[in-house]
Amino acid sequence: MTVRVHWTDAPYRWHVNDGAEVFLVLAGVVDMHYRDAGEDKVRRLHAGDACFAEAGDAHVAHSVGEARILVVERKDSV
């Protein structure tokens, strides 16, 4: 497993991990975009909110201003 803290004000890129990923907002606001049954959806996350992506789930995080995010995923996950 790897644990990283991201300090960002820029969107990530759409991706699909080959392992599970936990995404925890430490500060700020983040819009988590994901696909559910082929439909694009968005969930707004505030400090203390978490999101779990299973292996194979397409998703991308867009911070709303500056945000600090804790990401836990399998080492070398793509």
Q: Report the chain's mean pLDDT, rounded to a whole number.
A: 92
Q: In terms of Cα–Cα distance, which of 7, 4, 11, 8 is closest to 61?
A: 11
Q: What is the pLDDT along the chain (78 residues), one digit of tens a residue?
A: 899 999 999 888 999 988 999 999 999 999 999 998 889 999 999 999 999 999 999 999 999 999 999 999 988 775
Look up the pTM and report it: 0.88
- What would the pLDDT profile of 36-46 be if each residue is shown by its tens digit? 888 999 999 99
Delineate the domains of the chain, giving CATH numbers in brackets.
2-73 (2.60.120.10)
| Alpha-carbon distances of 4 from 8, 43, 47, rounded to whole Å | 12, 21, 16
